[in-house]
Amino acid sequence: MPKITYIDHQGTARTIEGELGSTVMETAIKNAIPGIEAECGGACACATCHVYIEEAWREAVGEPSPMEQDMLDFGYDVRPNSRLSCQIKVAAELDGLVVRTPERQA
Amino acid sequence: MSETIKTDVLIIGAGPCGLFAIFELGLLDMKAHVVDILDKIGGQCAELYPEKPIYDIPGIPYITGQGICDALMAQIKPFGASFHLQEMVETIEKIGDPLFRVTTDRGRIFEIKVIVVAAGGGSFQPKRPPIPGIEAYESTSVFYSVRQMEAFRDKRLLIVGGGDSALDWTLSLAPVASHLTLLHRRSDFRAAPDSVNKMMTLVGEGKIDFVLGQVSALQGEAGQVAKAIVKRNDGSTFEIACDALLPFFGLTMKLGAVANWGMEMKDGEYIVVNTANFESSVPGIFAIGDINWYPGKLKLILSGFHEGALMAQKAHRYVFPDKRLIFQYTTSSTSLQKKLGVA
């Protein structure tokens, strides 16, 4: 199963295995990864599962949809590599993905 | 608004559980009024997930959030409930056994026998943007809504956001303010294209400024903001001097006044109910849907429907203490079918 590394804003890295087809947000919540709240449960209706995609992975992960961009408007310290982790599906080609969680969620 | 509304049941929250409660109460001859803070019926389903799919409504393999609200409205039509939208219940006072006097933020007063709290995650309130220390400026120079435009006359305003509220207030306040800056993190907007065009025209005429970026900090003293520190997408920062900041970051749900109504709460967030009838610790006040708690609680719409059906049985005892309740099926009962207008 693809491995995902979550690095919190203080630099602590946690690597876990994600289930194919689930999301980067769900994988974090199931494994109690701090820094991701996912208030709306993954409906792209809030901005509390905001993560920064490590530069090397941006292309593989892709760009946010217009709806996700709308939700990112509510995020804290949104950057060009910001994504909502509920909108990223765990896939074989994302094995080794590294994301950083922001200092705070919205 | 001085006339007191006297009725059987007041439902707080017009989400799917509140709507279905109208049906269950109606079958048992109880009339309901509904209060909701949103400007539309449907609660979270209509506000947050109108286009989102729901797959776990029994007997309906697929429906959208708006779809379930529309279907429920059709189902409860025979019962003619009254809706009071953009209104919030503030106080509940027990004046009988049970009889309650309920006051809303618009000064409306209800006298009712039974209250059903179906408030989901609480009431929708403007969201506080994640700017450190913003609390210190709230209501003095940071505002999440505009009550009187005159309060902003000849002031330097900074409006933040890209939705309809941000754009609408930008257009309305542009002639009032001495200087107005609209700040948004990108050049795409969620707001109606027509408002965006009007805003761009004002920018073109030099009447207002539109700036790209995000507020990262505020400076000022004694509640009076002096300037916002704004971060560009490349990480560099600059300052915008302003007398007032109006951030429009959408809505979030807050429990609000519910906690003050004297009911036993779980973790300060949920109303504890008896699973035989979904009554709270205050006789006559019930809680159904996401806002209640009991051992094994699941926050599912289908659970809220079940809770509403059981609630109505107990509510009947309060509204009609002398009437015996006979359990009937809509499939076979002529009297129920008459109420539904199908017999």
- Please write down the HEC assignment for all residues of B236-289: CEEEEECCEEEECCCEEEECHHHHHCCCCEECCCEEECECCCCECCCCCEEECH
Compare all CA atoms of chain B with the CA of A40 and give the residue at the minimum distance.
B48
Specify the pLDDT at position B147.
82
In a domain, A24, yes or no: yes
| Structural element, H or E, at residue B170 | helix B164-173
Q: Which strands, in side-by-side order, build the sheet including B270-272?
A: B265-266, B270-272, B292-293
pLDDT tens-digit series, residues B5-46 = 999 999 999 999 999 999 999 999 999 999 999 999 999 999
Contact B184 A79 (CB under 8 A): no
Specify the pLDDT at position A43.
82
Contact A80 B233 (CB under 8 A): yes
CATH number of B128-249: 3.50.50.60
Share of chain A above pLDDT 90, in %: 82
- Least CB-CB distance to A70: which of B49, B190, B235? B190
pLDDT tens-digit series, residues B146-200 = 888 999 999 999 999 999 999 999 999 999 999 999 999 999 999 999 999 999 9
In a mutagenesis test of the B interface, which of A69, A73, A76 is the best target, namely the one with the most B β-carbons within 10 Å?
A: A73
Query: Does B1 have pLDDT greater than 60?
Result: no
Structural domains in chain A (count) = 1
- Least CB-CB distance to A77: which of B49, B214, B252? B214
Average pLDDT over all residues of chain B: 95
Residues of chain B with Cβ-Cβ distance to A74 below 8 Å are 127, 129, 249-250
Q: Which of A55, A54, A59, A47 is nearest to A87 (CA)?
A: A47
What's the CATH code of the domain at A89? 3.10.20.30
Query: Does B131 have pLDDT greater than 70?
Result: yes
pLDDT tens-digit series, residues A10-69 = 999 999 999 999 999 999 999 999 999 998 888 888 899 999 999 999 999 999 999 899
Contact by Cβ (8 Å): B62, B51: no
Specify the pLDDT at position B118.
98
In a domain, A95, yes or no: yes
Report the gap between the CA of A4 and the closest CA in chain B (Å).
26
pLDDT tens-digit series, residues A20-34 = 999 999 999 999 999
Specify the pLDDT at position B150.
94
Please compute the mean of the pLDDT values over residues B122-139 and round it to a whole number. Answer: 90
Specify the pLDDT at position A39.
85
Determine the structural domain holding residue A41 and report its residue range: 3-100
Specify the pLDDT at position B76.
97
- Topology match between the domains B4-125+252-339 and B128-249: yes
ipTM: 0.84
* C-alpha separations of B136 from B187, B218, B256, B274 in Å: 30, 10, 20, 41
Query: Does B211 have pLDDT greater than 80?
Result: yes
pLDDT tens-digit series, residues B47-89 = 888 888 999 999 999 999 999 999 999 999 999 999 999 999 9
Contact B163 A77 (CB under 8 A): no
Specify the pLDDT at position A44.
82
Specify the pLDDT at position A41.
83
Share of chain B above pLDDT 90, in %: 89
CATH H superfamily, domain B4-125+252-339: FAD/NAD(P)-binding domain (3.50.50.60)
Residues of chain B with Cβ-Cβ distance to A79 below 8 Å are 233, 235
Please compute the mean of the pLDDT values over residues B213-218 and round it to a whole number. Answer: 94
Residue B13 CA to residue B257 CA, distance in Å, equals 13
pLDDT tens-digit series, residues B84-115 = 999 999 999 999 999 999 999 999 999 999 99
Query: Does B207 have pLDDT greater than 90?
Result: yes
For residue B172, what are its two tokens? 């309305």
Residues of chain A with Cβ-Cβ distance to B186 below 8 Å are 69, 73
Residue B276 CA to residue B270 CA, distance in Å, equals 17
Residues on B contacting A at a C-beta cutoff of 8 Å: 48-49, 52, 127, 129-130, 161-163, 184-186, 188, 190, 214, 216, 231, 233, 235, 249-250, 252
Contact B249 A40 (CB under 8 A): no
Query: Does B304 have pLDDT greater than 60?
Result: yes
* C-alpha separations of A71 from B43, B127, B195, B331 in Å: 19, 13, 19, 45
Specify the pLDDT at position A17.
95
* C-alpha separations of B45 from A40, B22, B48, B50 in Å: 12, 17, 6, 6
Share of chain B above pLDDT 70, in %: 99
Contact A74 B127 (CB under 8 A): yes
